[in-house]
Structure 1
Amino acid sequence: MSLHRKKWSQKEKEEVLLFTEEHGITRASREFNVSTATIYGWKKRYEELGVEGLSKGAKTAVELELAQLKRENNELKKLVAEKELAIRVKDSLLKKSSLRNSKK
């Protein structure tokens, strides 16, 4: 088994999808040595985005939304971490000042 994955061009993907329409997913998978999951993914992108969906880097609306949500989630995590740090610093300073006041 090869350690490197084959990189499929847009034309090759179109060819596989055309073959799939005529002969079915299983036969196309065997004929072109590509997994059925990959073919289903190409088919889904083709149905959603047309021929452009088969080009490298094409993303569906769901994938774009997921990427946006991941970015927002990371930003929120950073904000929460900064707020938590600020609270801990304030608590620490309050403890120190209350210890000083109680010693007097």
Structure 2
Amino acid sequence: VDTASFADLKALVAETISRIEAQTDTKESFAEAKTSLELPSMPTLSMTGQDYIDEWLTPNFYFHLVTAYDILRAKGLAIGKADYLSHLRPLLAAAMAS
């Protein structure tokens, strides 16, 4: 995939969203379906869709999220734990008011 520009990246995101929206499989059928994960120089892994999400996708998502956070911090961005947990601000405000 050629993503030489921001416009290319936006087009790729739009295409990905369209492909996701076009899916007709239900969550339940994916969770039970068998899938294979093929990695270079590694044996092929066979797992259910739910295991794929729980054991492969979720840990990889958080790995890349934390890595991006670390890079931003190393480059001098003033970002911290409060930014990472900003979704809790309404709960904290409510707890402090009571």
The answer to which structure, 1 or 2, has the higher relative contact order (CA under 8 A, 6+ apart) is 1
Question: Which is helix-richer, 1 or 2?
Answer: 1
- Normalized against structure 2, the TM-score is what? 0.33
Structure with greater strand share of residues: 2
